[in-house]
Chains A and B, each alone.
Chain A
Amino acid sequence: MATVANYSNIFVRYDLIGAGEAKGVKVSSKDASIQKVLQCVLDGDSDNIAAAVNAALADKDPMTIINEGLIKGMNEVSRLWDEGEYYLPQAMVASDAMLQGLDICEVKLGKALEKKGTVITHTAEGDIHDLGQKIVNALLRANGFEVVDLGKDVPVDDVVAAVKKHKPALVTGTALMTTTMTAFERISNRLLKDGFETPFVCGGGAVSQEYVTGYKLGVYGKDASQAPGMASDAVNGLNWGQLREKWNN
């Protein structure tokens, strides 16, 4: 068998450069019960979040738990993911735990927390590959947005109807294939015709920036992790052209 003694001119393991330098979590709470909630989010511990939140609710108001435990924990998870110390799964399980804790706090508050804004998400007509959309949903919800999830294989008419009904700050579309992403341009044209200029963030396997920025309203979403930032910008008043200028240049 052919053997090799030195691989350095065959491949370089760039993933190992700086890999040992994890700096870890940088947030904590002095309050023991809040710290437990925070830790459950950081660990993505859906099994114990309910107990931790309920214990904290015994003597803390829900908004304190939400701000100092749940949101603080999720923000730290996002930072760790941005810096490459956490991977997507850690962010997903953290958002699962965080949203579970939020549900409990909202029941105690007697009302749902006011959301930053509404986003409609869907996977293109004829396409059942909705994993990207599911990731976007989780990240948007964990970042305080109301998500109207239309599901997968959604007819163009249904997307347009949903925009008219909910008047969201943003619409997202996911498609794995080039032959299903063609629905996005039809959606854009229909929305414009009906007087809507809702920014339409499109992404997915074969979807390209060149294609998405070829029609009005289109903003290319390269990665699901961009969704909360784009949604925030849309809520803060950036139109589709400005979003495109910021995120697609």
Chain B
Amino acid sequence: MPKYDKMAYASADEMIFGTAKNPVKYGRDFTVGGGYVYPELVPHPRPGTEATKKTLVKEYEKMVTDVLDRCVAIGIPGIQVELEHVYQMTRNPDWGGEIAAATKHLQEEYFKKYGLKSAIRATIADYRKPDEEDIRNCSALDATLKTFETSASGGADNLSIESVGGKEISDYAIVRQDIRGTLFGIGVLGSKDMEFMWKRVVDIAAKYGATPGGDTNCAQANVAMFMAGGYQDRSVPHTFAALARAIAGARSLVAYEQGAKGPSKDCGYEDVIVKAITGNPIAMEGKTCACAHSDLLGNLVAACCDLWSNEAVEYHDMFGGTSVAVFTEILGYDVALMNTAIEAGQAKMLRDLFVQSDKYRDTHGFILCPENAYEIGKAIINNNTSYYARARAAAIKSGELMLGDSKLQMSAFEKESLQSAMRTLESLPDKEEDFISECTDIYKKLIPGFTLANYGL
């Protein structure tokens, strides 16, 4: 059940990069949201290195060494490294554990020698198949939970995941521009699966003294955003992707209601909404994740970040060094600018410049600028009678905001898509149980393997 019923901030203007109401301290003298921004570097192993534990551990040792060396080379005060699990690292829990341990060993060496502050996030893979198995009792879940344990005992400070509950519905719905199915898949089923998963993650974190970080809606809202793509793409309307993102804000909140502390994970673009409600620190990615994917809010998304990330970069040589070193440097200078602004008393000016770069570039940036994210957050907490009610309220508020600002230009197709979705949202039942009943009737026929039992319903 929803728990948050008030905002952490009195206004959007209070929200700023580098500072969270509830900072988190872990790792080697590493505080997130305590006044300054740090980079979060996500190295990705080359294809083929996942063939054996030995080759993968070696790959990570090389990558992490390059990251830490570059920090020292240009004077970056601290860094978080994310071990974003390839499937093999979770399927084989000892691999994930050994890589966490190897990373910690390296970070401890650099901390001892240089005082380089650092931390490790382990993002465990979720490869459950909601349309094929009992996702509350399957070998994939067992491997995921076991790997949380091995990663924490190996030395990961922050435990995170991108859980996939509700994906079987949202995959079907997003490519059909079906807002009801999207709301059901993300807002209801996604939330219920988050509740199930995060009770367990929080318990494991407590057992090992690790911090339960956060869970992004990569499997659903990011799918919509990636499919919406750039200006030339005609896969999913951008207005639709923005609605999915607002719904994701309500869904990703569930981790914190179960005891997660943040910092949340980088690809959770919805997390500015979450920060407005929880006051927990957030990792964000934008222009510096162009190595992994494009987006239309590359500057704006830094406005309230506490960690600034590159999403994932595959390990290769570049003219300026290896790719992981290069992106460490790029992130390092970005956060140096943000921290300079903080020290110079100009943080809000820089924040506003970030926002103005992208607020009207696209619907995603528009709804995620602090001012609008805050309003969506208020809609969530003011409608917290159920996961459904608050997710629906988030979608409706974001639609109202998009339609209500004449400076946000839309093509006729995009506007009609949004208006059609709003008509559907307004027509939906008020009560969660009625909505679930309606959706069950529809989607059981359309999606083979969909079962309510997977969500405790």
Contact = CB atoms under 8 A, between A and B. Distances in A.
A87 B237 contact: yes
Interface in B115-129: 127-129
B273 to A, nearest CB: 20
Interface stretch (B34-42, B205-213, B259-267, B406-414): B406-414
Contacts of A179: 45, 47, 50, 86-88
B234 A86 contact: yes
A180 B87 contact: yes
B227 interface: yes
A93 B44 CA distance: 37
Interface string B325-337: 0000000000000
Contacts, number: 106
A153 B349 CA distance: 48
A1 B356 CA distance: 10
B235 A126 contact: no
Contacts of A89: 175-178, 236-237
Contacts of A22: 412-413
Contacts of B238: 15
A217 to B, nearest CB: 18
Given A86-B234, A128-B164, 8 more contacts: A2-B353, A7-B360, A15-B231, A87-B413, A135-B175, A180-B86, A180-B87, A182-B48
B340 interface: no
Q: How large is the interface on A (under 10, 10 to 19, 20 to 34, 35 or more residues)?
A: 35 or more
Interface in A76-93: 81, 84-90, 92-93
A58 interface: no
B234 A88 contact: yes
A181 B352 contact: no
Contacts of A87: 177, 234-237, 413
Given A87-B235, A178-B44, A179-B88, A128 B413 contact: no
A72 interface: no
Contacts of A153: 127, 129
Contacts of A128: 127-129, 164
Interface string B48-81: 1011000000000000000000000000000000
B25 interface: no
Contact of B231 (A14, A85, A177): A14
A178 B314 contact: yes
Contact of B349 (A2, A19, A92, A134): A2
A120 to B, nearest CB: 19
A2 B357 CA distance: 11
A19 B237 contact: no
A89 B414 CA distance: 13
Interface in A149-208: 151-153, 177-182
A216 B171 CA distance: 32
Contact of B412 (A19, A86, A180): A19
Contacts of B50: 179, 182
A10 interface: yes
A88 B314 CA distance: 30
A126 B412 CA distance: 41
Nearest to B129: A128
Interface in A1-24: 1-4, 7, 10-11, 13-16, 19-20, 22
